[in-house]
Chain A
Amino acid sequence: MTSKVASMADAVRDLVRDGDTVAIEGFTHLISFAAGHEIIRQRRRDLTLCRLTPDLIYDQMVAAGVARKLVFSWLGNPGVGGLGAIRRRIEGEIPEEPLEVEEYSHFGMVGRYTAGAMNLPFFPLRSYFETDLPVANPLIRPIASPYGDGTVYAVPPLRPDVTIVHAQRASAGGDTQVWGLLGCQKEAAFAAERVIVVVEDLVDEAVIRADPNRTIIPGLIVDAVVVEPWGAHPSYVQGAYDRDNRFYLDWDPISRDEAATQAWLREWVHGVEDRAGYIEKLGAERVASLRPSASAPSGSVDYGAYR
C-alpha cells in the first residue's frame, strides 16, 4: 500500500482550504490540538468548525480568526467554566468578528455525522420535544413516522469537507486503531470528504491485522497520516498520557481576557514552529507528569488461524 504519511504542515496545506467545513472530533479524548494550531499558523479563513464540544481548541481557533461559523452541542470548558473567546464573539463584544452558530444536542450532532456517514437524508431521534431548540435552529424538524407510530425529530446530515482525528496508532496506509473513549470519530470520518489521521505511533500493517476489532477507520477513507506524538495535549490519549487538567483550569483566566488570549496564541502557536516545538516549550517535567501512574494492559484474545 502506498504511504499516506505526511507532515502536519503539508497535510493542512493540501487538505484544509479556506471556507471549508472542518470537524476536529474526539470527545474530550484524542482532540487534535496539533492540527488546530497548524490551521491557525497557516491562517486559514472562513472555516465552519464542527464539534460536539468546541473545547479549548475551537476557543483558540475562533480567537485566532480562522472561523466564520460554529456548529456544536455543548459550549464549555468541562468542569471549569466557559470558553471566553467564543462567548465574546457570540455575545457581540467584538462586533468586527461576528460568529454564526448552529446548535444541536449531543445526540443530534452524533446523528448528523451518522446520517452523513451512511448517505442518509436525515437522522431521526427522540429528542427536542417541547423545547426551544427547534425554534433556535429551524434545521431541527419534526417528522411523522411513516408507520403511523408518532412523531420524532430529524436532523440533517453533516458532511465535513475534512475531518481530523487523533488516534493511538495507524499504519502508513491509514488503517487507524483507537482504544478508550470512541466519541463519534468513526461517524465523523466516514461522513467527510477528506480525512486526516494524526497518531502517536506509526505501526506496521501487521500490528493492525493482529487486532482488527480495534480498527475504527480504514485507510480506504484516509487521505493523510500525520505522526505527531503528544499532538492531543492538553487533551489525552488513553494509555499514553493523561488529560492536563491544570491546563484546562489555567485556560479559564486567559480565555476571559481577549488580550491574554491573543498573547497566548502568539507565544504558544505562532511562537513555535510545530508540535515538537510546543512540546519542548511545555517542558520535560510537565510532560512526564502526564504519564499514567501505572500500566493497565488489556488481556489478549485469540483470533485463531484458519487456513
Chain B
Amino acid sequence: MTELAPFSKSEMMIVAAARALAGQGVCFVGVGLPNIAVNLAKRTVAPDLELVYEAGVFGARPARLPLSIGDPTIVTGATAVVSMLELFGYYLQRGLIDVGFLGAAQIDRFGNINTTVIGDYAHPKTRLPGSGGACEIAINARQVFVIMRQSKRSFVEAIDFRTSPGNLGGAEEAERIRREGGWLGRGPTVVVTDLGIYHFDERGEMRLDSLHPGATLDAVRETIGWEVVVSNDLAETPPPSAEELRLIREELDPGGVYTK
C-alpha cells in the first residue's frame, strides 16, 4: 500500500462532502466549496450524478472546474441549457432536485442558514452576498447538504438573519410547517466541515457522527457556539485517497483557489 500524502483540512472537507453524494441522482451545485465537492463526486463516487447549475444548465459535464458557477465550460456538452425561469420553475420547484448543495456564513444547531448579513440588516457589520438561489433551494430540493468551515463566528447559537430555512426551531416544528406548506424538501441532512461530518438527530439538531483524521473533539467544541451533540458511535472519517487528492490538486484546483 502506498503511503498517503499529507493533506489539508480543506482537502479532507471537500473529499468528505464529495463522498456524501454517493448514490444521489440530481444535484444543484452552489457557488464556492460545493462546486469543487460536486465536481469531485462526479469523478469518483457518483459518475452518473446529474449536475444542475442555477445559471440554467441541466446535466453539465464541465471539462474544467469553473471558478464561477457560470462559465462556458458548463454549457459545452451539457444535456440542456434552459432559462433561469425554467431552471427554478420546472427543475427545482417541480421537485426534480435530489440534493441542493449549499455553503453558508452562519449556521445554527438546527441547520438554519445565514448568507445575508452579520449584524443588523439595516446597518450591517458585514454585508454578505445574500440568498442567490439558496432560499428556494433549501425549500424545494429534496434534501440539503451543507459544506462550510467551522468557527465560533460561523457555528452560532443564533444566526443574525435567516436566509434559508433548516429545521427551524426543531424537527417537530419543521416537519409540521413543511407538511402544512406543501414543501417538497425535507431540509438539511448532512453538514460537512473541516473537522467532521454531521447529520441531524430526531430533534432536528446537528449531531457529530464522524471526526476527520487529525481533528479532535476539543477542536470541534472550541469552534461551535453551542453544546454540540456527539454520536455514541463516533466514527473517524477515512482519509483522502491518493486518487482523490490527485484529482483535487491536478485536475480540479491546480491553482489552489478552493483549497487555500
Establish whether residues A243 and B31, one from each chain, have CB atoms under 8 Å apart when the complex forms. no
- Chain B residues, Cβ within 8 Å of A127: 135-136, 139-140
Establish whether residues A132 and B121, one from each chain, have CB atoms under 8 Å apart when the complex forms. yes
Residue of A107, A150, A248 near B182 (CB, 8 A) is A150
B132 contacts A by Cβ under 8 Å:
yes
Establish whether residues B133 and A79, one from each chain, have CB atoms under 8 Å apart when the complex forms. no
Q: Mark B25-57, 1 if CB is under 8 A from A, else 0.
A: 000000110010000000000000000001111
- Given A76-B129, A106-B132, A114-B85, the answer on whether A130 and B168 have CB atoms closer than 8 Å is yes
Closest to B161 in A: A132
Q: Count A-side interface residues using an 8 Å CB cutoff.
A: 59
Per the bound structure, the CA–CA distance linking A75 and B83 in Å amounts to 20
Establish whether residues B83 and A126, one from each chain, have CB atoms under 8 Å apart when the complex forms. no
Tell me the chain A residues, 220-272 only, with Cβ under 8 Å from chain B: 236, 238-239, 242-243, 245, 248-249
Establish whether residues A181 and B81, one from each chain, have CB atoms under 8 Å apart when the complex forms. yes
- Chain B residues, Cβ within 8 Å of A187: 83, 85
Residue of A29, A75, A111 near B129 (CB, 8 A) is A75
Residue of B56, B121, B164 near A181 (CB, 8 A) is B56
Establish whether residues A181 and B70, one from each chain, have CB atoms under 8 Å apart when the complex forms. yes
Establish whether residues A181 and B135, one from each chain, have CB atoms under 8 Å apart when the complex forms. no
- Given A150-B181, A151-B181, A296-B76, the answer on whether A73 and B56 have CB atoms closer than 8 Å is no
- Chain A residues, Cβ within 8 Å of B89: 107
B84 contacts A by Cβ under 8 Å:
yes
Tell me the minimal C-beta distance from B135 to chain A in angstroms: 4
Residue of B67, B83, B131 near A245 (CB, 8 A) is B67
Tell me the minimal C-beta distance from B183 to chain A in angstroms: 7
B188 contacts A by Cβ under 8 Å:
no
A136 contacts B by Cβ under 8 Å:
yes
A6 contacts B by Cβ under 8 Å:
no
Q: Count B-side interface residues using an 8 Å CB cutoff.
A: 57
Per the bound structure, the CA–CA distance linking A249 and B81 in Å amounts to 27
- Given A126-B139, A132-B163, the answer on whether A110 and B85 have CB atoms closer than 8 Å is yes
Tell me the chain A residues, 161-184 only, with Cβ under 8 Å from chain B: 179-184
Establish whether residues B84 and A105, one from each chain, have CB atoms under 8 Å apart when the complex forms. no
- Given A75-B129, A91-B124, A245-B67, the answer on whether A236 and B72 have CB atoms closer than 8 Å is yes
Tell me the minimal C-beta distance from B198 to chain A in angstroms: 21
- Chain B residues, Cβ within 8 Å of A122: none
- Given A79-B32, A130-B162, the answer on whether A180 and B81 have CB atoms closer than 8 Å is yes
- Given A107-B88, A130-B168, the answer on whether A74 and B130 have CB atoms closer than 8 Å is yes
30 pairs of residues in contact across A and B, judged by CB atoms under 8 Å:
A28-B55, A29-B70, A52-B84, A79-B32, A87-B127, A103-B130, A104-B131, A106-B84, A106-B88, A107-B84, A107-B89, A110-B85, A126-B136, A127-B136, A127-B139, A127-B140, A129-B139, A129-B183, A130-B177, A131-B162, A132-B161, A133-B163, A136-B116, A136-B121, A236-B72, A238-B72, A242-B72, A243-B67, A243-B72, A245-B67
Could you tell me which B residues sit within 8 Å of A by CB distance? 31-32, 35, 54-57, 66-72, 74-77, 81-85, 88-89, 92-93, 116, 121, 123-136, 139-140, 161-165, 168, 177, 180-183, 257
- 20 new A-B contacts, CB < 8 A, other than A52-B132, A105-B134, A127-B135, are A73-B132, A74-B133, A75-B127, A75-B129, A78-B70, A79-B68, A82-B127, A105-B136, A106-B84, A106-B88, A107-B133, A125-B88, A126-B183, A128-B135, A136-B161, A243-B70, A243-B71, A243-B72, A245-B67, A245-B68
